[in-house]
Amino acid sequence: MMVRSPRLRGNDTVATTVATPTDTEPARTTAGIELRGVVKRYGSANALRGLDLEIRDGEFFCLLGPSGCGKTTTLNLIGGFVAPTEGEIWIQGRRIDTLPPHKRPVNTVFQSYALFPHMNVRENVRFGLKMDRVPRVESTERVEEALALVGLEDYGDRSPAQLSGGQQQRVAVARALVKRPAVLLLDEPLGALDLKLRQRLQIELAQIHRDVGTTFVYVTHDQEEAMSMADRIAVMNDGRVEQLGSPEEVYRRPVSRFVADFIGDSNFFAADVAGPTATLADGTCVPCEGGRSGAATLMVRPETIRLGGGEGSIAGRVVHTSFLGSYVRVAVETGAAEAPVMVALREATLVPAPGETVSLSWSAADGIVLEAGS
Amino acid sequence: MSASAETAEQPQAVRAHRRGAGIASYGGFIPAIVLFGLFFLVPLAIIVCYSFWETIDYSVVHHWTLDNYRYFFSVSAYVTTMWSTLWVAIVATAIAIGLAFPFAYWLSRYVPQWLRLPLLVLVIVPFWTSYLLRVYSWLTILGEKGVLNRFLQWAGITHHPLGVFLYDRPAVILVLIYLYFPFGALTLYSSIERFDWNQLRAAMDLGASPLKAIFRILVPQIMPGIVTAVIFVFIPILGEYLTPQIVGGTGGVMIGNLIVNFFQAAEYTRGAAVSLLIALFIVGLLALFRKSLSTADAYGA
């Protein structure tokens, strides 16, 4: 079904889709996309507060965050639908923030797909090439290639209304990729689909990304989606990038409580840290990573907590256990934290009963020290 | 048990009802048929008959002839008036729709929801005043002592009041645009309002300039609305008679004025013939539009 098509590789043909920029400033960088000090204000509200971001050529980059964090604004800034209040945007060494949307080497897959209902699938995909005045023979070939890339080669004559949500989403991807953009922007493209289909399309999108080698910038509020596809994730909060890194880095080494809370499940303890030891609210001393001292927030992932252990463990009473298929979640009430501590257990045989008293422990490397404060 | 028996019998019952009721089942149509017949078919039949009869000494004689039509086409002034009527209608419709489109576009894309209704009401407000009054009000704007002339004199552009604004075809076109703009604006607004603006963003994202995006993506999808707007504006303008009468002078005469003149001169049969010519023309036009309307529907727009 998937046809590997090297012809759709984006980067070599960008020149044909980019108009000559009007300003003559020399290129400063050859990064895929570079945002320099980008600020966007709506009236007095700050949507983005000074964004510096470098997206590498050919990478699958995710902008992840809750609604209102500025991720969609960032996408719209790159796409040209919103003008920055301050700052510059560069794509492959070319400044683009002064260009209108139709002159940028960027194409977008919209959340609502925005397919043209008065055209059939093939005409939808051809539209962008028509606008570029690509000769008929070549455009026909490229349209068929793009449809094959998304597995819709037999659907060219259908009207968008005759397609399922997943198929419409694939048409939107084909329509954008047929132009061989330097950058493909995806605005929560799977948001409207059900979970199973979403998971399948995540794999397909990652595959398409490998096939075409174009830089993908993907906006989502779904951490699982970001983790499953992205090379790197920018976790955004309140108009700022809170953390930038690979999915593993962001999960294992969150830099703030916000990131730790937004990505995956976590337990937080108010703690007083001195070296590799943290003193919790109830006076127990637990191991933690070293390097910082003073008041801090200690973060421990549920799956790194073990039941049992002597020195450096906290005591608690099991209040609830839930069987979640691949693991069992145990909620333990302790004196060390207000909320019950969540523990994820892989081995079902070790599950304690509610009411049982247990002790919890973890290794020093799993006790992540974050800045203090709620 | 009883439920399945019921469903099995139902079709038969319906059929029996249809067979038995016969003409009675159409009883509900009688008021419509009477109204339609009395107020539309009978007058139309009279006009059709009149147009093929003769007027002798101010009275209609039941003598079948094509003279009325022949007469109309034999007088070059009448034929010229016919063409100029068509011309005025086309120009006024084009400009009225040309103004209504950006207005409807702006209203449905950029105006916040709460402000739309007040603005639409403002568009409709003129309908609450008399049609005659609205046409007459233009005399106080375009006339020799009108607002426009006073302004020009005040601004020192001219020293004498100018008579060029009134009593000619441009004045007729201007007033017609004013009168029919609301029809176009309301019709277009109701069809643009449902448009998904993301499609225009997508078109621009794919390389279309803003204008190209509008004409390739928006316009084809609201074609039924545009056709309706054209029908609502063009057809009434074809039959306009008061506006050219009041602001048109001799240069702005339209075919409606001809018909009135014929009837006032008691030349009923000639007037009927001209009326029927307009009616035939409009029917032909609607047939043409009907085709474009149905193809637009086929796209599911």
Show the DSSP H helices in B125-222 as ranges.
131-142, 147-154, 169-192, 198-205, 210-213, 219-221
Partner-chain residue, chosen from A17, A118, A127, that has the shortest CB–CB distance to B299:
A118
Q: What is the CA radius of gyration of chain A?
A: 25
Please name which of B279, B274, B280, B202 lies closest in space to residue B51, comparing C-alpha atoms.
B274
Residue keyed to tokens 């607002």: B147
| Cβ neighbours of A199 (radius 10 Å) | 15
Average pLDDT, chain A: 86
Pick the CATH number of A265-371 from 2.40.110.10, 1.10.287.610, 3.30.70.920, 2.40.50.140: 2.40.50.140
Please name which of A145, A154, A203 lies closest in space to residue A178, comparing C-alpha atoms.
A145
Q: CA end-to-end span of chain B, whole Å?
A: 46
Reported as a pLDDT band with limits 50, 70 and 90, residue A133 is very high
Reported as a pLDDT band with limits 50, 70 and 90, residue B21 is low
Ordered domains of chain B (ranges, CATH): 72-298 (1.10.3720.10)
Given CB atoms, is A19 within the 8 Å cutoff of chain B?
A: no
Look at strands A306-307 and A357-361 and give their pairing.
antiparallel
Given CB atoms, is A293 within the 8 Å cutoff of chain B?
A: no
Given CB atoms, is A132 within the 8 Å cutoff of chain B?
A: yes
Residue A26: is its pLDDT beyond 70? Answer: no
Helices then strands, counting H and E runs in chain B, come out as 16, 2
- Given CATH 3.40.50.300, say whether it is the number of domain A6-252: yes
**What average pLDDT does the segment A151-172 reach?**
92
What pLDDT is stored for residue A13 in this prediction?
41
* Pair A80, A106: CB distance under 8 Å: yes
Residue B142: is its pLDDT beyond 90? Answer: no
Q: Please state, in angstroms and rounded to a whole number, the distance separating the CA atoms of residues B162 and B105.
A: 37
Q: Please state, in angstroms and rounded to a whole number, the distance separating the CA atoms of residues A47 and A38.
A: 10
What pLDDT is stored for residue B62 in this prediction?
84
Q: How far is CA A155 from the centre of its chain?
A: 30
| Tens-place pLDDT, residues A226-279 | 999 999 999 999 888 999 999 999 998 899 999 998 998 899 998 888 888 888
Look at strands A106-109 and A183-187 and give their pairing.
parallel
Q: By a Cβ cutoff of 8 Å, what residues of chain B touch chain A?
A: 196, 198-199, 201-210, 212-213, 216-217, 220-221, 299-301
Average pLDDT, chain B: 84
Instruction: Output b/e per residue, B46-60; b: 16+ Cβ within 10 A.
Output: ebeebbbbbbeeeeb
Reported as a pLDDT band with limits 50, 70 and 90, residue A299 is very high
Residue B118: is its pLDDT beyond 90? Answer: yes
What pLDDT is stored for residue B28 in this prediction?
83
Contacts with B290 (C-beta within 8 Å, 6 or more apart), sequence order? none
Interface contact B206-A79, CB threshold 8 A: no
Residue A125: is its pLDDT beyond 90? Answer: yes
What pLDDT is stored for residue A43 in this prediction?
82
Residue A114: is its pLDDT beyond 70? Answer: yes
Please name which of A365, A362, A316, A311 lies closest in space to residue A337, comparing C-alpha atoms.
A316
Amino acid letter, B19: R
Which of B119-123, B146-150, B215-219, B238-242 is the least confident region? B146-150
Reported as a pLDDT band with limits 50, 70 and 90, residue B17 is low
User: DSSP string of A293-348?
Assistant: -EEEEEEE-GGG-EE--STT-EEEEEEEEEE-SS-EEEEEEESS-SSPEEEEES-G
Report the sign of the C-alpha dihedral through residues B245, B247, B251, B254, in that order.
Answer: negative
Partner-chain residue, chosen from B198, B199, B208, that has the shortest CB–CB distance to A131:
B208
**What average pLDDT does the segment A37-54 reach?**
87
Reported as a pLDDT band with limits 50, 70 and 90, residue B292 is low
Q: Please state, in angstroms and rounded to a whole number, the distance separating the CA atoms of residues B91 and B93.
A: 5
Q: Residue A114: closest CA among chain B residues belongs to which residue?
A: B199
Residue B297: is its pLDDT beyond 80? Answer: no
Q: Above 0.85 for ipTM, yes or no?
A: no
Please name which of A176, A161, A171 lies closest in space to residue A122, comparing C-alpha atoms.
A171
CA distances from A96 to A35, A106, A234, B232 (A): 10, 10, 21, 46
Q: Residue A78: closest CA among chain B residues belongs to which residue?
A: B205
Q: Two tokens at B144? A: 């020799």
Phi, psi at A334, each rounded to 5°:
-130, 170
Domain spans, chain A: 6-252, 265-371
Residue A6: is its pLDDT beyond 70? Answer: no
Report the sign of the C-alpha dihedral through residues A71, A72, A78, A83, in that order.
Answer: negative
Reported as a pLDDT band with limits 50, 70 and 90, residue A323 is confident
Reported as a pLDDT band with limits 50, 70 and 90, residue B5 is very low
Partner-chain residue, chosen from B212, B213, B221, that has the shortest CB–CB distance to A117:
B221
Angle between helices B268-298 and B255-264 (to 10 degrees): 150
Q: Residue B220: closest CA among chain A residues belongs to which residue?
A: A118
Reported as a pLDDT band with limits 50, 70 and 90, residue B67 is confident
| Tens-place pLDDT, residues B173-188 | 999 999 999 999 999 9
Residue B144: is its pLDDT beyond 90? Answer: no
Interface contact B205-A108, CB threshold 8 A: yes
Q: How far is A83 from chain B (nearest CA, A)?
A: 14
Residue A132: is its pLDDT beyond 70? Answer: yes
Q: Which of A14 and A82 is assigned the larger pLDDT?
A: A82
Given CB atoms, is A112 within the 8 Å cutoff of chain B?
A: yes
Q: How far is CA B138 from the centre of its chain?
A: 21
What pLDDT is stored for residue B1 in this prediction?
40
Partner-chain residue, chosen from A79, A118, A176, that has the shortest CB–CB distance to B220:
A118
Q: How far is B106 from chain A (nearest CA, A)?
A: 18
What pLDDT is stored for residue A30 in this prediction?
58
At B264 the three-state DSSP class reads helix
What pLDDT is stored for residue A10 in this prediction?
42
Reported as a pLDDT band with limits 50, 70 and 90, residue A192 is confident
